[in-house]
Amino acid sequence: MKLLVTGATGKLGSKVVEALLKTVPTSQLAVSVRNPEKAEHLRAQGVEVRHGDFDHPETLDAAFAGIDRLLIISADGDNETRIRQHTHAVEAAARAKVGFIAYTSLGNATESQLFLAATHQATEAAILKTGIPYSFLRNNWYLENETASIQAVMAGAPWLTSAGSGKVGWAPRQDYAEAAAAVLAGDGHENTTYELSGPLLTQEELASALGTVLGKEVSVQQVDDATYADVMKGAGVPDFVIPILVAIQQGIREGSLEIESNDFEKLLGRPVTPINEALGQLVREIS
């Protein structure tokens, strides 16, 4: 049985590989990366490192050859770029006759109105079209996505949001990685969809938890989208990023990430990391 993780030197992929190395013999594990030199530390541990670039489909045929179970970690970029890249990966998996595809998708992907959803809708559809057994790992929201806001609070700023009372199922990236590893290396996950969401919290509730961790009062400043954009611009956020951040706030406000599920616990065999513990870990990392 040969397992392969794409994007294995990325923020999520590296954690998935770490989790797999605790349960899977290195001889059964391969990774596909755009820059193999960045994966030398994995090669040194006995992991097979293969060159695979989603923008160069010809590299993926060799990368996926002989693979039984594949984890496609969603790429970065705009929707058009990601759809193209993911389609290349799925088509290569079909050519390689991969036996199983797990894919890191988005919460409630098929119904979601979040602007990010188009990528995941297209990719899930492409995987279904292959007829290959699959598992869709519909990740809600990484707690690490809030790093800039946490740093701002640590520097004395309020928690700024235009998300209103919208709720999010935040969880640390480590939990998502361990869930993905469990699916890739485990049995009985064929043709499944997992909604991976932590306990639902509003912005106020997250800020309150952060205040407990920091030992100080964290004020929350609710603003409209235009004000939020202005503040982001004033903070030096690049112009092309600002509409993305505003759209995320809007999506949260409209309930796009308000997804209740206990699938995390099923895959992890434990509860999701408590939010205070996860925030504490993140604060230590960025301090």
Return averaged pLDDT per consecutive 10 residues of the chain, 287 residues in all. 97 98 97 97 97 97 98 96 98 98 98 96 98 98 97 97 98 98 98 98 98 97 98 95 96 98 98 98 96
**What pLDDT, on the 0 to 100 scale, is given for residue 270?**
97
Task: Provide, rounded to the nearest whole percent, the portion of the chain with pLDDT above 70.
Answer: 100
pLDDT of residue 280: 98
220-255 exposure pattern, b = at least 16 Cβ within 10 A, e = fewer: bebeebeebbebbeeeeeeeeebeebbebbbbbbeb
| pLDDT at position 257 | 98
Residue 126: per-residue pLDDT: 98
Q: What structural domains does the chain harbor?
A: 3-139 (3.40.50.720), 141-171+198-258+273-287 (3.90.25.10)
Using a cut of 0.95, tell me whether the model's pTM lies above it: yes
In this predicted structure, what is the pLDDT of residue 48? Answer: 98
- The pLDDT assigned to 165 comes to 98
3-state secondary structure labels for all residues of the chain: CCEEEECCCCHHHHHHHHHHHCCCCHHHEEEEECCHHHHHHHHHCCCEEEECECCEHHHHHHHHCCCCEEEECCCCCCHHHHHHHHHHHHHHHHHCCCCEEEEEEECCCCCCCCCCHHHHHHHHHHHHHHCCCEEEEEECEEHHHHHHHHHHHHCCCCEEECCCCCCECEECHHHHHHHHHHHHHCCCCCCEEEEECCCCECHHHHHHHHHHHHCCCCCEEECCHHHHHHHHHHCCCCCCCHHHHHHHHHHHHCCCCCCCCCHHHHHHCCCCCCHHHHHHHHHHHHC
